[in-house]
Amino acid sequence: MSRLVFMDNLRVFLTILVVAHHAAQPYGPTGGDWPIFNPERAAILGPFFAVNAAFFMGLFFFISGYFLPGACDRKGKGRLLLDRLQRLGIPVLFFTLVVFPPVLYILTSPSESFLTFWTQTYLGQFELEFAHLWFLMHLIAYAALYVLWRSLIRQRQPSILPPPNHRWIVAYVLLLSLVTFGVRIQYPIDRWINVLWVLPAEIAHFPQYVSLFVLGILSYRQDWVRQMPVSRGLIWLSIGCGAGLLRYLYSIGQSTLGLPSLIAVGGWDWRALLWSFWEAAICVGLCLGLLVLFRERINFQGRLLRSLSQNAYAVYLIHLLIILYLQFSIADLAVGPLVKFGLVTVIGTPLCFGLSMFLRRLPFVRVVIA
C-alpha cells in the first residue's frame, strides 16, 4: 500500500492542536490539574478543551491502529514489539526516570534533597509521573494485545466490506454514547486511575480510544479510509463542526444569557447522557470528516510539510517542557489570559519543531525517534 501523505499531514495538525491544548491549560476552565495557576481565566477556552478532548486523541488512536496491521505484516510479530518498545518505550522510560523528576522537584519544592526525593518518594513510593506519555504507554499495551490476538487467531483473508454507510455510523455514535455514559457513572471526565498499577488511563474516554483503535485496524484491512465516499465524509464533517460550534455557542450563552447547565462530566445524570451523545457526534463527525478532507484537499507535501511530519512525534515528546517554561516566563505579564494563550502557542509551536529538528540530528536520539 502506497504511503498516505494526508495521514502524515493530519498527524501534524493533531500534534499542533495538542501543543495549543496544553498551552491553554492555565488560562481556561480546565477540569484537570496543571502546575501553573493563572488567576484570570477565559471562559471561551472551556469549549476549546471540550471539543479537543472529544476527538483529537481518539483520532490519534485511529491512525495508530490503522498502521499497526501493515507494520506487523512487514516486520513480523516479534520485530513489531521490539520496534514499539524501542520507539515508544525508551522515550517513556527516559522522560519518566530522568526528565520529569527534576521538573516535579522544582514545582513541588519539597524540603528533602533531590536525591532523597527521587529515590524515596518518586521511585520508593512509586509516584511516577508519565504526563502526556500515557498515550505512548497505551500504544505499547495495544500493540502487545494485537500481537497476542494475531498469535491466537488463525489469519484468514477478510471479507471485503464497503465503507460504513450513514446507518452504521449513526449506530456507532449511539453505541459509543451509551457505553461512554455507562462508564462515566463511576469514572467521570478528568478522573485518572492506574490500570494494573502502571498504565495511567482516563476511563471516561476509554470506550472512544479503544473502539477507534480497533476501527483503525479494521479500516486498514478493508481500505475504508481511501474508499470512503467524499460526500459521506463531508456530511459527517459538517455534523462534527456543527456539534462543536454548538458547544461554543452554548458556553457563550451561559456566560452572557445565564443559560442553565446542560452538561455533566459523569454520574447518573441526564446531562451526562446528553454530553456523551454530543461528544460522540463531535468525535465521529470530526474524525471521519477530517480524514476525508485531508485525503481530498491536503494530500501533498512540500518541503515544509515534509519537515513538519518528520518531526511531529518528537514534538509530541518534548512540547510539554517548552510549554511549561513559556507559561512560567510570562506568568507575571500584565495581559489577559487569551493573550497569554496566544503568546505561548505562537512562540511555543515553532520552538518545539525547531528543537525537534536539532535533537533528531543527534545520533543517540535519531536511533530511537528518527
Over the stretch 272-283, which tens digit does the pLDDT of each residue have?
A: 999 999 999 999
Res 124: pLDDT: 81
Q: Could you tell me if 196 and 144 are in contact, meaning their C-beta atoms sit under 8 angstroms apart? A: no
Secondary structure (3-state) at 105:
helix
pLDDT tens digits for range 155-205? 777 778 899 999 999 999 999 999 999 999 999 999 999 888 789 999 999
Q: Could you tell me if 246 and 297 are in contact, meaning their C-beta atoms sit under 8 angstroms apart? A: no
- State pTM to two decimals: 0.96
Res 197: pLDDT: 78
Q: Provide the grid cell at 61.
A: 488512536
Res 288: pLDDT: 98
Closest CA to 366 of 311, 322, 328: 311
pLDDT tens digits for range 341-362? 999 999 999 999 999 999 999 9
Instruction: Please check the confidence at residue 11 and state whether its pLDDT lies above 90.
Output: yes
Residue, of 367 and 227, whose pLDDT is higher: 227
Secondary structure (3-state) at 200:
strand
Mean pLDDT value of segment 257-261? 88
Residue, of 25 and 366, whose pLDDT is higher: 25
Q: What is the overall mean pLDDT for the chain?
A: 93
DSSP for 204-264 reads: GGHHHHHHHHHHHHHHHHHTHHHHS-HHHHHHHHHHHHHHHHHHHHHHHHHHHH-PPP---
Secondary structure (3-state) at 127:
coil
CA pair distance 221, 216, nearest whole angstrom: 9
Res 2: pLDDT: 63
pLDDT tens digits for range 55-109? 999 999 999 999 999 999 999 999 999 999 999 999 999 999 999 999 988 888 7
Q: What percent of the chain has pLDDT over 70?
A: 99
